[in-house]
């Protein structure tokens, strides 16, 4: 019986690596993501009960293909290799000629036939649906391996060497599009790795508080508190760790939702007894953003201004060595990693200047939004805080298209508030992941009071999601959309047209900029 209670995920640049970690944690086992080329001795020193080799965009026969330390296969630790990892195992034990370009690349749902599934595929039917995303495939079994499953286009869709506890799957068990994927991971964790389990968000919260205490020591920290779920949970964890040595700085940058400042001060200063300093920086931010239309430039300007404000507050308030941020994993992956493309920069990831003097404390960096909410519930935050819809760090700057002006911000803020009121009145707020209004830079002709208008167009955006990595447009009843549109046009002067965005993510993103 193994005593190790964690899994290490060797990351080869997969967009799904954190999703693998999340699925493992959901099944009660703690997991960490590490570089794919982490030395075997370092892996041994961490004492994992299992190793997962992630997918990735590489090809095993490419000149600069990423490979793990070959000694990882000799550690006596069970290995589950997924997609590119599956091909790495085949190439290591059988040679690179065991992997070749697929004559018909598989992207999307495929039907997988199981033949002698062994421990990994135990309890599954003879055929399952699975999500494929690969241009190469394993076409021959390495010596000592048996085939567990196949598809019409992938003769070795799953393989195993049970004696050495090596398993590989070409498909992605971690995604929801593989309905039996959770069962496959559960089999690997408990039947093959024989892990004890017991990991929970309660344990994560406890571990985070201890790690924050260790990192901060006797020092003091500032927290960039926006009132959103992420920064609220981060602030509460740090407050539990270091108490009054935490000061929360709420920056009113003029890009907030309606009533945001009043809500934050009431919740955190009055109800939770935290040290909260409110900074009126509206003129500063809006001056810096004047005439800026490019969304990436907006984000980076806002990021620099945020850090400048925090450093100034640190100098004015006392000696602060640490800056707390509510960074979560979707922020990180969308801002680009060492092996993934930049989708959009986040002010708390891609926009940080090199000269920043404080050390970052980011207790939520490895969590998805739904996990953050679970942690928040564990540490006693109210539903009013936990179930607020996400709001981007750059605020309305990325919901007002084109150059930002005070008038345009006012229009976007009023339209957004009306939309929120209507979905709350309809009882839909908890069902929708995120809903907001985007003020376009487009004008259109309309008719009001028998007269011609030439006003602005607003786009309503509402999505359902589990983790913000993918999202579908929300099927809001037509009568709710109708009431929202009529109210916006009637109550917000200069807006004469309302549209509803029905684009999913991908190919779109949730925010427009």
What DSSP assignment string belongs to 5-22? -EEEEEESS-TTHHHHHH
d(CA 225, CA 222): 9
Helix axes 229-242, 369-378, angle to 10 degrees: 40
Query: What 3-state class would DSSP assign to 73?
Result: helix
Cβ-proximal residues to 42 (8 Å cutoff; 6+ apart), any chain: none
> Which tokens is 72 given?
């990882």
Element at 329 (helix H, strand E): helix 329-334
Cβ-proximal residues to 186 (8 Å cutoff; 6+ apart), any chain: 27
245 within 8 A of 223, measured Cβ to Cβ: no
**The one catalytic residue among 86, 92, 134, 172:** 172
d(CA 251, CA 248): 10
By DSSP bridging, strand 451-464 and strand 472-473 are antiparallel
Cβ-proximal residues to 68 (8 Å cutoff; 6+ apart), any chain: 10, 36, 37, 38, 53, 88
Cis peptide before 506 (omega within 30 of 0): yes
**The one catalytic residue among 106, 174, 334, 362:** 174
CB atoms within 10 A of CB 295: 18
Active site residue 172: yes
Active site residue 86: no
Cis peptide before 507 (omega within 30 of 0): yes
Q: Annotated active-site positions, please?
A: 83, 172, 174
């Amino acid at each position: 019986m193994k005593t190790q209670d964690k899994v290490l995920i060797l990351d080869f640049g997969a967009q799904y690596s954190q999703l693998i970690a999340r699925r493992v944690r959901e099944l009660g086992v703690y997991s960490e993501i590490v570089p794919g080329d982490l030395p075997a001795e370092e892996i041994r020193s961490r004492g994992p009960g299992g190793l997962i080799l992630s997918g990735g965009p590489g090809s095993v026969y490419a000149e600069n293909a990423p490979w793990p330390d070959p000694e990882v296969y000799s550690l006596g630790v069970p290995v589950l290799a997924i997609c590119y990892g599956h091909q790495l195992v085949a190439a290591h034990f059988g040679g690179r000629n065991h992997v070749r370009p697929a004559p018909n690349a598989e992207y999307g749902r495929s039907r997988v036939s199981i033949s002698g599934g062994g421990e990994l595929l135990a309890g599954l039917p003879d055929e399952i649906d699975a999500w494929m995303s690969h241009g190469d495939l394993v076409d021959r079994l390495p010596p000592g391996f048996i085939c567990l499953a196949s598809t019409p286009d992938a003769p070795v869709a799953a393989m195993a060497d049970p004696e050495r506890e090596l398993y590989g799957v070409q498909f992605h068990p971690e995604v929801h599009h593989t309905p039996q994927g959770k069962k496959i991971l559960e089999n690997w964790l408990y039947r093959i790795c024989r892990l004890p389990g017991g990991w929970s968000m309660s344990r994560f919260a406890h571990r985070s508080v201890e790690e924050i205490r260790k990192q901060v020591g006797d020092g003091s920290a500032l927290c960039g508190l926006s009132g959103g779920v992420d920064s609220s949970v981060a602030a509460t964890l740090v407050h539990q760790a270091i108490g009054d040595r935490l000061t929360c700085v709420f920056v009113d940058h003029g890009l907030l939702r309606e009533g945001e400042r009043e809500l934050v001060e009431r919740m955190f200063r009055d109800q939770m007894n935290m040290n909260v300093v409110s900074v009126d920086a509206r003129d500063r931010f809006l001056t810096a953003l004047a005439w800026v239309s490019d969304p990436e430039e907006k984000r980076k300007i806002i990021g620099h201004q945020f850090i400048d404000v925090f450093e100034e507050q640190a100098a004015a308030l006392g000696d602060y060595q640490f800056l707390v941020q509510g960074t979560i994993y979707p922020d990180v992956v969308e801002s680009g990693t060492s092996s993934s493309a930049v989708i959009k920069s986040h002010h708390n990831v891609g926009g940080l200047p090199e000269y920043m003097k404080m050390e970052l404390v980011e207790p939520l960096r490895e969590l998805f939004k739904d996990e953050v909410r679970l942690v928040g519930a564990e540490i006693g935050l109210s539903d009013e805080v936990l179930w607020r819809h996400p709001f981007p760090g750059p605020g309305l700057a990325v919901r007002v298209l084109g150059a930002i002006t005070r008038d345009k911000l006012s229009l976007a803020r009023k339209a957004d508030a009306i939309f929120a009121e209507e979905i709350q009145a309809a009882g839909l707020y908890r069902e929708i992941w995120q809903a907001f209004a985007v003020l376009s830079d487009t004008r259109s002709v309309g008719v009001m009071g028998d007269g011609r208008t030439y006003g602005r167009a607003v786009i309503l955006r509402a999505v359902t999601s589990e983790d913000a990595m993918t999202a579908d447009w929300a099927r809001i009843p037509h009568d709710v959309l109708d009431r929202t549109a009529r109210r916006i046009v009637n109550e917000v002067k200069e807006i004469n047209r309302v549209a509803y965005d029905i684009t999913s993510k991908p190919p779109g993103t949730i925010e427009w900029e």
